[in-house]
Amino acid sequence: MSFELSPEHEQFRRSVRDFAQAEIAPHAAQWDRDHHFPTDVVKKMGALGLMGLTAPEQYGGAGLAGEDGGFTSLCLAIEEIGRVDQSMGITLEAAVGLGINPILTFGTDAQKEEHLPALVAGEQLAGFGLTEPGAGSDAGATKTKAVLSDGEWVVNGAKQFITNSGSSITSLVTVTARTGDRDGGRPELSTIIIPSGTPGFTAEKPYDKLGWHASDTHPLSFEDCRVPEANLLGERGRGYAQFLSTLDDGRVAIAALAVGCIQACLDLSLEYSLDRQTFGGPIGRKQGVAFQISDLQVMLDASRLLTYKAAAMKDAMDAGAGVSMKDFKQAAAVAKLYSTESAVTATRIATQVFGGYGFMEEYPVARFYRDAKVLEIGEGTSEVQRMLIARGLGLPVE
């Protein structure tokens, strides 16, 4: 397979870059300071078509199938948005990967027709509720329960760290819940759609986070929350497989967000090292600075190639071009692990290049420094990625 981006992809990248520079970059620092979630810009991303890159035309999407490189286009958009603002980058990633894709992949025709048009247009957002206070990487420890009673699911429990779950334009969340027990006491997990405003469903006070200040993130609680039986997403008992599939795609998308972060660090460091004068010349002439910036270029190139290799494999797999799910899963874990850890290193380097100014919030490197750490945690921690990679190599790691 060739992983070189097509001319159409490069043209698309430039159009998203122009949008990000005009609509997001001038405001990102203020949104970060104010912890403001800009719903107007989310809607503009939808109007540009970014939410619908992988959705069929019948729901208002671009209809880009695997052979058209639709998933690669989404990753390009996430990278370019994340290059100026990681908060808006994760908003786009979660809107499509965690909001739209589960319904698009597993939903009934009626569920798709009801929910997808507004989500694809960017007029509404959806969240995906998996993580709980005692169940993150160990999803089998899920305690949220859903009991079928008189044609309704009665949901009780709590979720945490849920993106796009409590904004003024959030229309629903899909949540994993225990709907029974299997042989041997293992939980039967299913996924259920819970519309915003359902009695008993509360998006609690937003988190005070280290980074991603302009991203919408809430804990959720469910107390005797009743929804129709038809709100089951896909088959009963398939919730575990559904969220694993969702996370595979999400890992590549998070890697793309990390690539945007590394690119920003390189851009900012290069510009500053040429402008900042000490001892009669720019600091970029000093090997101690220049060599670190050279490392940024290496990390960027490697991360980008790994990420778009995985994205191309996803598109090829969707097109039936002979890529196996096993190979894609391995590529996704490799891309996610290397790119996100490189992004954290890149922000440390960029902050060091800026010296004392890098510690000041008026410079964007400080914001990228705070935003980067969660990249190693969300959509599966670095430790989980190493476990997956080891298992892919045939190692019996626990």
DSSP letters for 217-269: EEEEEEEEEEEEGGGEESSTT-HHHHHHHHHHHHHHHHHHHHHHHHHHHHHHH
Q: How far apart are alpha carbons 137 and 125 in whole angstroms?
A: 24
Q: What is the dihedral of CA 46, 50, 55, 57, to 10 degrees?
A: 70
Encoded amino acid at 341, one letter: E
Torsion sign across C-alpha atoms 371, 372, 376, 379: positive
Please name which of 51, 84, 382, 89 lies closest in space to residue 257, comparing C-alpha atoms.
89
Which two tokens mark 269?
């460091």
Give the active site residue among 235, 379, 383, 398: 379
Q: How far apart are alpha carbons 69 and 319 in whole angstroms?
A: 9
The DSSP symbol for 108 reads -
DSSP letters for 124-168: SEEEEE--BTTBSS-GGG---EEEEETTEEEEEEEEEEEETSSST
Q: How far apart are alpha carbons 57 and 291 in whole angstroms?
A: 48
376 in active site: no
Instruction: Count CA atoms within 13 Å of residue 145 on its CB side.
Output: 10
Longest Cα–Cα distance of the chain, Å, equals: 80
Instruction: Name the residues annotated as catalytic.
Output: 379
